[in-house]
Amino acid sequence: MFRVNCILIGLLVTLAVNASAASNDLSNAGVVEFNAAYQAWDGERFAASAELFRRATTNEPANATNFYWLGAAQFHRMLQLQNAPANRTNEAPAKAALDAAVDALTVAVKLVEGHAETHALLSTLYGMKINGNLLRGVRFGPRVAKHQELALKHGASNPRVQYLLGMCQFHTANKPADWQAALQTLLKAEKLFETEAKTTDAPRWGQSSCLTFIGRTYENLGKATEAAPYFRKALAMHPADHLAQEGLKRASEKK
C-alpha cells in the first residue's frame, strides 16, 4: 500500500510539474504575441494572446500573473475594437472583452491582493462601465474608488498605474476641473514612463497610449495647440494608433 501511495504521489508531482512548465511556455508565448499585437494594434493578435493566457490559466489556475496577462490582453482587445474607425458592429464583442477582462483581473486580485497594475486596470474598466452615466456611477463608483486606492497603495510610482488612473479619470470626467485632474495624472505618468524607459529595455505597454490620452484631454480642455504635439509623439512611437491619428487630424483642422 505504501508503495502504491508513493507511486501516486510521484505521478501527481510529475503532472503538476508538467502543467507548470506548459503554463510557463503558454504565458511566454502569450507575452510575445501581446507585444506584437500592441505594436501593430492588431485585434486578432490580441485575441490570440488572450487565448494563450487563457490556456495558461487552465494549466496553472493559482498563478495570478497569468490572470493579469489575460485581463491585460482582453483590455487591449476591447480598446482595439472600440477604437476601430466607424465600426459600430464592434460594440457587442468590445463589451464581451471588457467583461472578460474584469473576470480575469478579479481572479488575479483574489490570488495576489497587492498587484498594483491589476487594481489600476480594474479601476479603469469600472470607470469605463460608468462612462458618464449617473446610475452606473452609483453602482460602480465604489469599485472604482476601492481599486484606485489599492493601486496607489501598492504602486504609486508605477507608470501604468498612473496612466490607467488618468484614463479612468478621463472616462468619468464631466467638467473642466475633472479634465484638469485627469491631465495632471497623465502628465505624471508620462514622466514615470520616461524614467522607466531609461532603466529597462523590457517591452512595456501603455506609454504611447498615455501620450494619446494627454492629447485627448488637452482637446477636451479646448487646447488643440497643446494636444497636437502629443498626438504626434504617440504616432511616432505607435503609428497604428487610430485615436492619435484622428486626434491629430482634428487638432490640425482647428489651427
pLDDT confidence bin for 171, thresholds 50/70/90:
confident
The confidence score (pLDDT) of residue 247 equals 92
HEC string of the chain?
A: CHHHHHHHHHHHHHHHHHHHHHHHHHHHHHHHHHHHHHHHCCHHHHHHHHHHHHHHHHHCCCCHHHHHHHHHHHHHHHHHHHHCCCCHHHHHHHHHHHHHHHHHHHHHHHHCCCCHHHHHHHHHHHHHHHCCCHHHHHHHHHHHHHHHHHHHHHHCCCHHHHHHHHHHHHHHCCCHHHHHHHHHHHHHHHHHHHHHHHHCCCCCCCHHHHHHHHHHHHHHCCCHHHHHHHHHHHHHHCCCCHHHHHHHHHHHHCC
pLDDT digits (tens, 9 = 90+) for 183-223: 999 999 999 999 998 886 655 799 999 999 999 999 999 99
pTM of the model: 0.84
Topology adopted by domain 1-112: 1.25.40
pLDDT digits (tens, 9 = 90+) for 76-90: 999 888 877 666 668
Q: Locate the domains of the chain by residue range.
A: 1-112
